[in-house]
Amino acid sequence: MESIFPNILFLGPYFGPVILRAVLAINFFMHAQQMWSLGTNRSKLLSVKEALFGLLFVGGILIQLVALLGVLVVLLRGFWLGKDAPKQNWKENVLTIGVLLTLVLTGAGYSPFPFSDLPY
């Protein structure tokens, strides 16, 4: 299929995952703020964990590992908080898991840190 904008295709492998990482970071930061406002010890611990995930997505460090762990965090939010858990939007969770799995397959994309693409 012919591309509409063939001149910008060279940017796709580098900046496509960066856009996905930025959206995921915003999503995790928003959930961290929501969990922090619940006020329980478990919710504050989950809030710190989600904020850390957001920072790792912004930095582009260990993205494939963080994305796999992010899938677990998204799936187990309700279980972790128990009866105090706010209602989760399953559509948002499905999209978030889809983007996380995409980052597992594609990698981090462009990173401003030269050491972030090392395998260890």
The pTM assigned to this predicted structure is 0.80
Q: Is residue 119 part of a domain?
A: no
Rounded to whole angstroms, the Cα distance separating 48 from 79 reads: 17
As a whole number of angstroms, the distance between CA 46 and CA 24 comes to 16
Task: Determine, yes or no, domain membership for 111.
Answer: no
Domain for residue 118, yes or no? no
- How far, in Å, CA of 31 to CA of 35, rounded? 6
Phi, psi (deg, nearest 5) at residue 23: -65, -40
Residue 27 lies in a domain: yes
Residue 61 forms part of a structural domain: yes
The answer to whether 43 and 91 have CB atoms below 8 angstroms apart is no
Total domains present in the chain: 1
Residue 77, in any domain of the structure: yes
Range of the domain at 30: 17-106
Predicted confidence (pLDDT) per residue in 5-44, tens digit: 767 766 666 778 888 999 999 999 998 998 898 888 888 9
Whether the predicted pLDDT of 120 surpasses 60: no
**Length in residues, the chain:** 120
Using alpha carbons, list the distances in angstroms from residue 114 to 17, 55, 61, 110, 120: 17, 17, 10, 10, 13
